[in-house]
């Protein structure tokens, strides 16, 4: 169906008639006054005295005006309603960008990869599967930053995650600030399911809010936090003195991460390799969605350029007729 977005613009249709009815006639050319082109087309005339050329000009001018007003009213073609799948879940993803995320203790496609690269690969697929959810992204290091507010545009969230780099938010880890920022962004949402997935490989070493205090605040606003501790338990380090086994995740504060999840009704996961990280995200896929009223939209196609273009063509035709008639004179 056709819809006019600015239908009030149609009120301008009778303006030429009102101008003809209530405004004084334009001054003749031989008088000391400014000549307005085409104004004589709208002067009072008698049908029995008007010739064919003047009638044609008048009809063309009126039609051009009508089409111009219709174009100004922004006609649009409304398509059939399209329903949007909405589960009613608001999900925020908080990713650690501290210096320790550059440790290469993961394997991706058979090659050693740092923790952030592995996280990007798995989390991007997780984000793409969030059909119907609003997804946001928080990046944190020494400070926590909102990279993407809650949005249905999952592709943008995935792209901005992929563009993140280690140290972008500082080399330290502010877990409490990341949770506090998530609470601030989610507290005013009108859904009953608010979820934060927090991924880190260390302990809280920076920030103004302690993680457990932030978890208590999250609980008050019914924000459920799922924490993921990332990093291998063992890796081989080679040096000039030989090879030795070390624990690259010695700084991971699993006790605090478990307490954060437990306080908010979430769960703590341990990801020692890419396979475990993928399994964790598959479990998170099964989070129970909350029913919500179906949202829909109607695709629109602008049509204003059709009447506008025809109006310009008619105006050009009027000019040609006037120029040719003057030439014959």
pLDDT in tens, 68-123: 999 999 999 888 876 665 556 788 999 988 888 888 877 777 788 888 888 888 88
Alpha-helical segments (H) within the chain: 15-22, 52-72, 115-128, 154-162, 175-186, 211-220, 254-264, 274-285, 305-328
61 CB neighbour count, 10 Å cutoff: 17
State the helix-helix crossing angle for 254-264 and 175-186, rounded to 10 degrees.
20
* pLDDT grade for 125, boundaries at 50, 70 and 90: confident
* pLDDT grade for 192, boundaries at 50, 70 and 90: low
Q: Is the pLDDT of residue 32 over 70?
A: no
pLDDT in tens, 306-319: 999 999 999 999 88
* pLDDT grade for 48, boundaries at 50, 70 and 90: very low
Alpha-carbon radius of gyration of the chain: 34
pLDDT in tens, 260-294: 999 999 888 888 778 878 888 887 777 655 445 55
* pLDDT grade for 323, boundaries at 50, 70 and 90: confident
Identify the residue whose tokens are 């005013």: 188
pLDDT at 180: 93
Q: Is the pLDDT of residue 65 over 90?
A: yes
Across 40-54, 89-103, 123-137, least confident range = 40-54
Domains plus CATH for the chain? 2-79+298-328 (no CATH), 84-285 (3.40.50.410)
In 79-212, beta strands by DSSP E: 82-84, 89-96, 106-108, 111-113, 134-140, 144-151, 193-200
Taking residues 230-245, what's their average pLDDT?
Answer: 66
Cα distance between the two ends of the chain = 49
Alpha carbon 67 to its chain's center: 35
Q: Is the pLDDT of residue 236 over 70?
A: no
Taking residues 175-189, what's their average pLDDT?
Answer: 88
pLDDT at 177: 92
Q: Is 90 left (phi over 0), alpha (psi -120 to 50) or beta?
A: beta
Whether 39 and 26 have beta carbons less than 8 Å apart is answered as: yes
Query: What mean pLDDT value characterizes the chain?
Result: 80
């Amino acid at each position: 169906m056709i819809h006019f977005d600015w239908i009030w613009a149609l009120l301008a249709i009778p303006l030429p008639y009102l101008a003809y009815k209530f405004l004084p006639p334009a001054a003749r050319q031989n008088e000391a006054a400014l000549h307005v082109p085409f104004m004589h087309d709208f002067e009072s005339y008698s049908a029995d005295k008007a010739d064919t050329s003047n009638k044609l000009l008048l009809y063309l001018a009126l039609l051009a005006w009508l089409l111009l007003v219709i174009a100004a009213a922004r006609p649009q073609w409304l398509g059939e309603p399209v329903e949007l799948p909405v589960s009613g879940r608001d999900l925020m993803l908080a990713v650690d960008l501290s210096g320790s995320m550059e440790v290469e203790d993961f394997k991706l496609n058979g090659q050693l990869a740092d923790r952030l690269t592995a996280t990007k690969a798995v989390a991007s697929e997780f984000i793409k599967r969030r059909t119907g959810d609003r997804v946001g992204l928080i990046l944190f290091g020494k400070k926590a930053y909102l990279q993407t507010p809650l949005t249905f545009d999952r592709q943008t969230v995935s792209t901005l995650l992929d563009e993140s780099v280690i140290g972008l938010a500082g080399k330290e880890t502010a877990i409490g600030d990341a949770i506090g920022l998530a609470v601030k962004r989610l507290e005013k949402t009108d859904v009953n399911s608010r979820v934060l997935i927090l991924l880190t490989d260390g302990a809280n070493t920076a920030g103004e809010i302690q993680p457990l205090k932030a978890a208590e605040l999250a609980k008050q606003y019914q924000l459920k936090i799922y924490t993921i501790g990332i990093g291998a338990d063992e890796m081989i380090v080679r040096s000039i003195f030989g090879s030795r086994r070390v624990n690259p995740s010695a700084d991971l504060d699993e006790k605090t991460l478990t307490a954060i999840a437990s306080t908010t009704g979430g769960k703590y996961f341990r990801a020692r390799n890419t396979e475990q990280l993928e399994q964790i995200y598959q479990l998170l896929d099964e989070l129970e969605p909350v029913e919500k009223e179906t949202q829909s939209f109607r695709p629109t196609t602008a049509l204003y350029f059709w009447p506008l273009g025809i109006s310009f063509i008619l105006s050009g035709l009027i000019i040609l007729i006037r120029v040719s008639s003057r030439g014959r004179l």
